[in-house]
Amino acid sequence: MKRIQIITTGGTIAMKADPATGALTPAVTGPDLAAAVPGLSAYADIGVKEFSNIPSGYMTPEKMLKLAEYIDSASETGEADGFVVTHGTDTLEETAFFLDVALHTQKPVCVTGAMRGASDISADGPGNILGAVRTAADNKAAGMGVLVVLNDRIHAAWDVTKTHTTCTDTFQSPQWGPLGTVYGDEIVFGRQPLKHIKIHPESVQKKVWLLTCVSGMDGELFRLAGEQGISGIIVEGLGCGNVPPRVKAAVEELGKKGIPMVLVSRVPCGSVKEEYGYDGSARSMKTSGIILGGSLSGPKARLLLLMALGAGHGRREIQSDFGSTF
């Protein structure tokens, strides 16, 4: 029987309603979470590590790096054959993506959470933990990268995003669809995930800003960014990577300062492309040195740039890092 370690970080899955206010607050320990799931021992030999007990909005890249280092260490020492990370859903996709890029281990790592608190009617946490444990214990999950398992769907960390604030089917992969499904007692994969870049940063202390473009936007926020000692910037553009003309002028100013800039789109699906030739298009900003970020979302692109800078990558290496994002 496989040894699966459940690593708890907090989030709604570990929250209960406060009797006085009805508001969800952290209240459930890691061992409590595992004990609340009937039948876990039938699928794996379970161990529990309480990494933290925080709302997912409190998660930081520094904590993500420590989590990655812990998983790699536990994998190398043979403490487990696979891992399940429980996490709040607000930043779950970011932590899963960070782990997918940073981890050395090829052992299965599944990230899961809950949309309903542990004290709610029809709490989804226990079922999601069971699905994640069963996926992590499945031989086919090895080498698949970090997986996100909720609502009986199995997603690639690179692709998945939260699409609804409260519904239990919130996690979707709108670009390519899920990798597989938890079918009763069977784990079924329908496709293999694409292989992506691996970066192993020593730290993630750099300051990277994410700025989203809107209609009529001027360049003031971009100029302010250049005055704040930032290490890099993610430009979340319109359409396939276009920006208002005054933003384009500010981007060119940042380019002269040598600040690494990555262009992504605020659109949920598709990649940035050099489609247009007008002032403010992706093509028109090439002379600024801006790097095309493929289909990555703004938050994930920010993490990738933080990791690249933390690993000491220069502009050419960063361009190569983002060149594998499709």
Range list for CATH 3.40.50.1170 in the chain: 3-189
Given a contact cutoff of 8 angstroms between Cβ atoms, the answer to whether 47 and 70 are in contact is: no
CB 86 within 8 A of CB 43: no
Q: Could you confirm whether domain 208-323 is CATH 3.40.50.40?
A: yes
pLDDT score of 31: 83
Question: What is the structure's pLDDT at 11?
Answer: 86
Instruction: Determine the pLDDT at residue 181.
Output: 98
- The burial of 143, by beta-carbon neighbours within 10 Å (0-12 exposed, 13-18 middle, 19 or more buried), is given as exposed
Tokens 């990494």 belong to residue: 51
Q: Is the pLDDT of residue 137 over 80?
A: yes
- The C-alpha atoms of residue 178 and residue 176 are separated, in whole angstroms, by 7
Q: pTM for the whole thing?
A: 0.96
| Per-residue model confidence (pLDDT) at position 212 | 98
CA 71 to CA 101: how far, in whole Å?
A: 13
Q: Is 214 left (phi over 0), alpha (psi -120 to 50) or beta?
A: beta
Percent of the chain with pLDDT over 90: 85
Catalytic residue among 8, 9, 12, 325: 12
**Distances 50 to 28, 85, 183, 276, 285 between C-alpha atoms, Å:** 11, 10, 29, 50, 46
What digits encode the pLDDT tens for the residues 83-99?
999 999 999 999 999 99
Q: Has residue 24 got a pLDDT over 90?
A: no
* Bridge partner residues of 210 (DSSP): 234
pLDDT band at 50 (very low <50, low <70, confident <90, very high): very high
The CATH number assigned to the domain with range 3-189 reads 3.40.50.1170
* Residue limits of CATH 3.40.50.40 in the chain: 208-323
* DSSP secondary structure letter of residue 104: -
- Rounded to 10°, the helix 298-310/92-102 angle is 40
Q: What is the pLDDT of residues 150-169, one digit of tens each?
A: 999 999 999 999 999 999 99
Tell me the one-letter amino acid at 304. L
- pLDDT reported for residue 325: 64
Nearest CA among 156, 146, 48 for reference residue 99: 146
Q: What is the pLDDT of residue 289?
A: 94
Active site residue 12: yes
Determine how β-strand 291-292 pairs with β-strand 261-265: parallel
Where are any strands of DSSP class E within the chain?
A: 3-10, 15-17, 24-26, 45-54, 82-86, 109-112, 146-150, 153-156, 161-162, 171-172, 180-183, 186-189, 208-212, 232-237, 261-265, 291-292
For residue 198, what pLDDT is reported? Answer: 96
- The overall average pLDDT reported for the chain is 94
The answer, yes or no, to whether residue 14 has pLDDT greater than 90, is no
Quick one: CA dihedral 211, 215, 218, 219, positive or negative?
A: positive
Q: What is the CA radius of gyration of the chain?
A: 20
Q: Is 40 helix (H, G, I), strand (E, B) or coil?
A: helix
- With a CB cutoff of 8 Å and minimum separation 6, the contacts of 319 are 291
In terms of Cβ atoms closer than 10 Å to its own Cβ (0-12, 13-18, 19+), residue 311 is middle
Scored b (16 or more CB within 10 A) or e, 148-175 reads: bbbbbbbbbbbbbbbeeeeeeebbbbeb
The token duo for 184 is 């009763």
The dihedrals phi and psi of 184, each to the nearest 5 degrees, come to: 55, -115
